[in-house]
Amino acid sequence: MIRENFEKNMLELQNKMGEMVDATIKVMEKAFIALEKQDMELALDVIEDDAYIDELENEINQMAVWLTAKEQPVARDLRRIISMIKMSSDIERIADFAVNTAKATIKIGKTESMLSKTSVVEMKNIAMDMLVKALKAFVEEDVALAKAVGSLDDKIDKMNYENYITLTNCLKEQPEHAEEIVQLLFINRFVERAADHITNMAESTAYFIKGRMFDLN
């Protein structure tokens, strides 16, 4: 009965993390719709949505501390709790990058968009696919899938560099678009950093399953 209650609490903790992932994907998608459509009101909505994700992270942390103190888990159970605490922190940071993207969109304003000159939107799509896979790897305890997430990060890094070259060249050739180009450089970096945090999640999964740290980045 004691073990059954513990597993029930652990499942609740895991489900809350799943809620965080779902909410983060929605807020990132909304941020990019705002960017592509130059929708300032939608960008402001993204900034407001972040509070819900912050609250979920707080709930996960509080519940994890309570479980650790009450159940005094050891070995694999403790690694599972530690991994969820670390992963919730990574998810919260990814949501922050969505907010930063929304703020950059507001700074760009209603100008002629240069977004199509980059692969930033494709980068975002890959990153969100990574996030889905990272959660699935944890839930299904799949180390191979966790490693696959790390491999996708290499693709993001390559695209990040290519976008950087493209945008800095545009900055030299079209200095009148400096404000938008600078903000797109920031957004490019936000997506690359989000992918790094997702890779951290995959590493936490590998740690939970195998009991040792892996460098997947």
List of domains in the chain:
2-210 (1.20.58.220)
| Length of the chain, in residues | 217
The pLDDT of residue 38: 94
The whole-model pTM stands at 0.94
CB proximity list for 217: less than 8 A, separation 6 or greater = 150, 153, 196, 199, 200, 203
- Residue 118 Cα distances to 104, 161, 189, angstroms: 16, 11, 12
Average pLDDT across each block of 10 residues of the chain; the chain has 217 residues. List them in order.
Answer: 79 95 97 96 94 95 92 88 96 97 94 89 98 97 94 95 96 92 97 97 92 74
Q: What does the alpha-carbon distance between residue 13 and residue 75 come to, in Å, rounded to a whole number?
A: 18
> Given this model, what pLDDT does residue 111 score?
82
**Which residues have C-beta within 8 Å of that of residue 141, sequence separation ≥ 6?**
205, 208, 209
CA 15 centroid distance within chain: 17
**Cβ atoms 217, 148 nearer than 8 A:** no
Residue with tokens 């969820």: 84
Both structure tokens of 149: 């997430």
Residue 1's pLDDT is what? 55
Q: CA distances (Å), 211 to each of 56, 65, 68, 170, 204, in order? A: 26, 20, 18, 47, 10
- On whether the CB atoms of residues 82 and 142 are closer than 8 A, the answer is no
